[in-house]
Amino acid sequence: MVKQKKHRPPPRLQKQDLASRRLMSFVNQGDFALAEKEARAILARQPMHALAQKALSFALLGFGRCSEAVPVLNQAIRQMPSDGELYNNLGIAQSLLMRWEESYQSFTRARLLLPDDFEVHKNVGLALLRMHRRTEAVNALLVAIEKHPDDYLEAIALLSDCLFELQRYDEAMTCYEELFRADAGNLHALSQIITMRLRLSLWAGLDERLHLLRTSSDNFFKRNGPPLSTLSFPGVVPEEHLRVAMTYSDFHTQLSRSVDIPKLESTLDERDVGRRLRVGYLSGDLRVHPVGWVIAEVLERHDCARFAVFAYSTMADDGSEIARRLRQAVTKYVDLSASPMRDAVEAIRHDNIDVLIDLSGWTANGRPEVLFQRCAPVQTGWLGYPGTMGHVQLLDYIIGDGVVTPKESQSFFVEHIAQLPGFYLPFDTTQAIDTAPTRAGVGLPEEAFVYCSFNGNYKYNPEVFDLWCEILSAAKNSVLWLGAATQAVADRLRQEVAQRCIAGERLIFANRVADRAGYLAQVSLADLALDPFPYNSHSTGLDALWAGVPMVSLLGETFAARVGASMLETAGLPDLVAKDRTAYRDLALAAYRDPALLRTWRQRGALAKTNSALFDMGFFTRELESLYSRMWSNHLRGEHGGLFLER
Question: Do residues 526 and 508 touch, judged by C-beta distance below 8 A?
Answer: no
Give residues with Cβ within 8 angstroms of 509, minimum separation 6: 481, 482, 483, 484, 485, 490
For 268-280, write each residue's pLDDT tens digit: 554 556 689 999 9
Q: Look at residue 59 and tell me if it is in a domain.
A: yes
Q: How confident is the model at residue 493 (pLDDT cuts 50, 70, 90)?
A: very high
Q: Look at residue 623 and tell me if it is in a domain.
A: no
pLDDT(4) > 60: no
Same domain, 192 and 102: yes
For 412-453, write each residue's pLDDT tens digit: 999 999 999 999 999 999 999 999 999 999 999 999 999 999
For 144-168, write each residue's pLDDT tens digit: 999 999 999 999 999 999 999 999 9
Q: In what order do the strands lie in the sheet with 332-335?
A: 332-335, 307-313, 277-283, 355-358, 378-381, 397-401, 416-420
Which residues are paired to 309 by β-bridges? 279
Same domain, 324 and 206: no
Same domain, 177 and 57: yes
Q: Look at residue 83 and tell me if it is in a domain.
A: yes
Same domain, 299 and 171: no
pLDDT at 5: 46
pLDDT at 14: 41
Same domain, 36 and 169: yes
Q: Look at residue 618 and tell me if it is in a domain.
A: no
Same domain, 138 and 19: yes
How far apart are the C-alpha atoms of 196 and 207, rounded to whole Å? Answer: 14
pLDDT(15) > 80: no
Pick the closest to residue 615 from 353, 457, 428, 341 (CA basis): 428
For residue 633, give the H/E element and its range: helix 617-637
Q: Look at residues 357, 388, 420 and tell me which one is the last residue of a structural domain.
A: 420
Q: Look at residue 158 and tell me if it is in a domain.
A: yes
Same domain, 594 and 460: yes
pLDDT(345) > 60: yes
pLDDT(407) > 70: yes
pLDDT at 268: 56
Instruction: Please count the structural domains in the chain.
Output: 3
Same domain, 386 and 464: no
pLDDT at 9: 45
Same domain, 454 and 393: no
Q: Look at residue 231 and tell me if it is in a domain.
A: no
What is the pLDDT averaged over residues 355-380? 96
Same domain, 409 and 488: no
How far apart are the C-alpha atoms of 82 and 71, rounded to whole Å? Answer: 17
Q: Look at residue 237 and tell me if it is in a domain.
A: no
Q: Look at residues 198, 213, 228 and tell me which one is the last residue of a structural domain.
A: 213
Q: Which residues of 51-69 are buried (b: 16+ CB within 10 A; e: fewer)?
A: bbbbbbbbbbbbeebbebb
Q: Look at residue 74 and tell me if it is in a domain.
A: yes
How far apart are the C-alpha atoms of 50 and 41, rounded to whole Å? Answer: 13
Pick the closest to residue 378 from 399, 401, 360 (CA basis): 399
- C-beta neighbour count of 563 within 10 angstroms: 28
Give residues with Cβ within 8 angstroms of 107, minimum separation 6: 87, 88, 91, 120, 123, 124, 127
For 205-246, write each residue's pLDDT tens digit: 999 999 999 999 999 999 888 999 999 999 999 999 999 999
For 507-556, write each residue's pLDDT tens digit: 999 999 989 999 999 999 999 999 999 999 999 999 999 999 999 999 99
Q: Which pTM value belongs to this model?
A: 0.92
CATH number at residue 335: 3.40.50.11380
pLDDT at 256: 85
DSSP labels for 121-180?
HHHHHHHHHHTT-HHHHHHHHHHHHHHSSS--HHHHHHHHHHHHHTT-HHHHHHHHHHHH
pLDDT at 224: 87
The share of the chain scoring above pLDDT 70, in percent, equals: 96
pLDDT at 190: 97
pLDDT at 8: 47
Q: Look at residues 161, 184, 213 and tell me which one is the last residue of a structural domain.
A: 213
Range of the domain at 346: 275-420
Same domain, 358 and 453: no
Same domain, 17 and 136: yes
pLDDT at 273: 60
pLDDT at 590: 98
The share of the chain scoring above pLDDT 90, in percent, equals: 88
Mean pLDDT rounded to a whole number for the chain = 94
pLDDT(570) > 80: yes
pLDDT(7) > 50: no
